[in-house]
Structure 1
Amino acid sequence: MPHIVVQMYPGRSNEIKEDFAKKVQKLTVEEFGCQPGHVSVSVEDIAQENWKEEVVEKIRPEDLIIEPNF
């Protein structure tokens, strides 16, 4: 409980991804009141040319909290 998936275009270093994941984990622990060991975070690089079919088309409208504006 919970697992957070971050999908983004490639190009960021593993160091940046790890730092971001730790910050997401910390925020989740603070907001949800759970233990750090109960929060997992993964980062998936998705090529820009595949973004629509691999990301956009898989998001259920009822699950989208913040819509992109691009």
Structure 2
Amino acid sequence: MPHVIVKLYAGRSDQQKARIAEEVTKAIVASAGCGEAAVSVSIEEFAPEDWGEQVYRPDILERPDTLYKKPGYSPP
């Protein structure tokens, strides 16, 4: 039962967020070998000025053991 949380800067339309969820679902189904009904996707939006403290530090910097794709940027 994969549940994916996508965190990104605020400002995407509902259509864009639906497309992101659709594409993430396709990738999970293809790579995890589960059915589409088993996948859930949520999207959390953040202001750019909050990214460093609310996402980068707690989810990336402080959890390297769970990070399978490192970002190619420094925290804002």
Q: Give the TM-score normalised by structure 2.
A: 0.84
What is aligned with 1:65? 68
What is the alpha-carbon root mean square deviation over aligned residues? Answer: 1.0
| Cα deviation code 1:15-51 (max 9, x no counterpart) | 0110110111011111111111110001111111110
1:10 offset after TM fit, Å? 0.9
Secondary structure at the aligned position of 1:22 is classed as helix
Structure 2 residue runs without a partner (length 5+): none
Q: How does 1:37-56 map to 2 (within 5 A)?
A: 37-56=37-56
What is aligned with 1:27? 27
Runs of 4+ displaced beyond 6 Å:
none
Percentage identity across aligned positions? Answer: 41
Q: How many angstroms apart in 1 are the aligned matches of 2:72 and 2:27?
A: 24
Secondary structure at the aligned position of 1:56 is classed as helix
What letter is aligned with 2:27?
A: L
Q: How many angstroms apart in 2 are the aligned matches of 1:31 and 1:4?
A: 13
Structure 1 residue runs without a partner (length 5+): none
What letter is aligned with 2:56?
A: V
